[in-house]
Amino acid sequence: MTLTLPDNEDVRFIYEQVDTHTDWFRDSLCMIASENLVSPLARQLQVSDFTDRYAEGLPGKRYYNGNIYVDKVEVRVEELAKKLFRAPEADVRPISGTTANISAFFALIEPGDLYFATHLNDGAHISSAKFGAGGLRGGVEMTYVWDKERMNIDVDATRKLLLQHRPKLCLFGRSVFLFPAPIKELQDTLQEIGCHVWYDGAHVLGLIAGGKFQDPLREGAHLMTGSTHKTLPGPQGGVILGNPKDEEQWKSVRRRVFPGTHSSHHLMTMAAKGVAFAEHLEFGASYADQIIRNAQALAQALHERGFDVLGESLGFTRSHAMVIDVSKQGGGATCALDLETANIITNKNLIPDDPGTSMRPSGLRLGTQELTRIGLKGSHMSEVAEFFKRILIDKEDPMKVKVDVAAFKKDFQTIHYCFVPGSPAYHKWRIV
């Protein structure tokens, strides 16, 4: 779309920065594990009249008029969510994975209640921490015992803790999610203590929907929250899926979404989620499979080039993500900045027993879902790994590598696994 902009310095500045960003990402390898590219059909809905409207409440029970067609869309999107995840219940209103998590915390525990979650150094999301949504609710957190070699919860040691402390809630799910959470292995214990079981699948939601990771709602989780824009390649938003242990549990979740933590949800995003769900029903299995294949190939290629890729004993990863200990290469913050200079976009990350801080950690977290979305296969991962080696081990000038990264990226400029194949991946508002 070509726009004629007003003669306003502020407006022109903003558009110029967005255009410059788009050009930069067009020439970059984008490997943030929590990002993806929305499809053209889903993107279009986000500039519809739905952008300007309110719809407080549930379909058929709104506080505003004018929602006749909004209601029809929302009912269909909920049906698509239930079908995609084989979930008895779904709420598509959360505007992010974190607001979905806030709603879940407020529904499942009261102030002073004990809950178990993964430690931040072991890959947890910040919403589960004392300074995040869990602490905001007034919950008391304990963390699972962690097996660093397996990059997962230590089942036997954790079972003993659960039986000793009998928490009100057990939260499974991470931002560094390499291997399936051991819900099945702990199910007997979870049932014995009678706690709520919640799975935060934000990072792996698309892999779960594609049938390639694990199936939390069949393994014992009563609730699954998630983001709709990571391995599930939809618009930035959230979703809550339920296989509740009773009707009151799900009613409590719905009440915490509205009026508890949301007023009107983002209708344009809700509609775009529906398109993403429909596309994932069609393409999700093949997309999820290729994401994981690419992640495993990249992890192996990095390992072969001298990087300390965590989780080696189990094949590095069974998801889209991998973690590298780059303390020998200067640490996560320095390495992420050098990679960014070369047009490789990653993020610094804490690793188990990290002596550093969240701003200066020892690790890097990588994801392959966006690379897969634009058509890269396992055979391309050795070339990607070589860029990492040139920058971080060989200490080649990142500006020199940047030229080669941009040349490599020219062959990968369209979105795959969607209803409009061959569509440009990087949309730009043209300034006149």
Q: Looking at the structure, do residues 260 and 114 belong to the same domain, yes or no?
A: yes
Q: Looking at the structure, do residues 272 and 303 belong to the same domain, yes or no?
A: no
Side chain identity at residue 172, one-letter code = F
pLDDT value, residue 427: 84
Six-digit token pair at 379? 């055979």
Q: Looking at the structure, do residues 210 and 236 belong to the same domain, yes or no?
A: yes
Look at residue 135 and tell me whether its pLDDT is greater than 90: no
Q: Looking at the structure, do residues 221 and 297 belong to the same domain, yes or no?
A: no
Percent of the chain with pLDDT over 90: 92
Has residue 27 been placed in a domain? no
Q: Looking at the structure, do residues 274 and 296 belong to the same domain, yes or no?
A: no
The stretch 18-31 carries a mean pLDDT of 97
Look at residue 281 and tell me whether its pLDDT is greater than 80: yes
Has residue 77 been placed in a domain? yes
Give the confidence band of 128 by pLDDT, cuts at 50, 70, 90: confident
CATH number at residue 401: 3.90.1150.10
Q: Concatenated DSSP letters for 377-389?
A: -GGGHHHHHHHHI
- Domain end residue (candidates: 279, 311, 345): 279
pLDDT value, residue 125: 87
Has residue 23 been placed in a domain? no
Q: Looking at the structure, do residues 361 and 423 belong to the same domain, yes or no?
A: yes
Has residue 10 been placed in a domain? no
DSSP code of residue 422: T
Q: Which of 103, 97, 166, 102 is nearest to 129 (CA)?
A: 102
Farthest-apart Cα atoms in the chain, separation: 68
Distance separating alpha carbons of residues 127 and 120, to the nearest angstrom: 10
DSSP code of residue 258: I
Q: Looking at the structure, do residues 140 and 219 belong to the same domain, yes or no?
A: yes
pLDDT value, residue 428: 77
Query: Tens digits of per-residue pLDDT, 304-356?
Result: 999 999 999 999 999 999 999 999 999 999 999 999 999 999 999 999 999 99
Has residue 7 been placed in a domain? no
CATH number at residue 232: 3.40.640.10
Look at residue 431 and tell me whether its pLDDT is greater than 70: no
pLDDT value, residue 34: 96
Number of domains present in the structure of the chain: 2
Q: Looking at the structure, do residues 254 and 287 belong to the same domain, yes or no?
A: no
158 within 8 A of 144, measured Cβ to Cβ: yes
Give the confidence band of 132 by pLDDT, cuts at 50, 70, 90: confident
pLDDT value, residue 124: 86
Q: Looking at the structure, do residues 84 and 189 belong to the same domain, yes or no?
A: yes
Q: Looking at the structure, do residues 200 and 139 belong to the same domain, yes or no?
A: yes
Look at residue 131 and tell me whether its pLDDT is greater than 90: no
- List own/partner pairs for 215-219 with CB under 8 A and 24 or more apart: 215/86, 216/172, 216/181, 216/183, 217/85, 217/86, 217/87, 217/241, 217/242, 217/243, 218/86, 218/243, 219/183, 219/184, 219/187
- Domain end residue (candidates: 232, 260, 279): 279
pLDDT value, residue 218: 97
Query: Tens digits of per-residue pLDDT, 391-415?
Result: 999 999 999 999 999 999 999 999 9
Look at residue 1 and tell me whether its pLDDT is greater than 80: no
Range of the domain at 353: 283-431
Has residue 358 been placed in a domain? yes
- Domain end residue (candidates: 254, 279, 304): 279
Give the confidence band of 133 by pLDDT, cuts at 50, 70, 90: confident
Has residue 245 been placed in a domain? yes
Q: Looking at the structure, do residues 346 and 373 belong to the same domain, yes or no?
A: yes
Has residue 264 been placed in a domain? yes
pLDDT value, residue 429: 67
Look at residue 364 and tell me whether its pLDDT is greater than 90: yes
Give the confidence band of 300 by pLDDT, cuts at 50, 70, 90: very high
pLDDT value, residue 349: 95
Exposure string of 233-242, with b = 16+ CB inside 10 Å and e = fewer, is bbbbbbbbbb
Q: Looking at the structure, do residues 223 and 344 belong to the same domain, yes or no?
A: no
Query: Tens digits of per-residue pLDDT, 201-246?
Result: 999 999 999 999 999 999 999 999 999 999 999 999 999 999 998 9
Look at residue 430 and tell me whether its pLDDT is greater than 70: no
pLDDT value, residue 203: 97
Give first-to-last CA distance, the chain, whole Å. Answer: 11
Query: Tens digits of per-residue pLDDT, 145-203?
Result: 999 999 999 999 999 999 999 999 999 989 899 999 999 999 999 999 999 999 999 99
pLDDT value, residue 120: 87
pLDDT value, residue 110: 96
Computed over every residue of the chain, the mean pLDDT equals 96
- 305 Cβ contact list (under 8 Å, min separation 6): 385, 386, 388, 389, 393
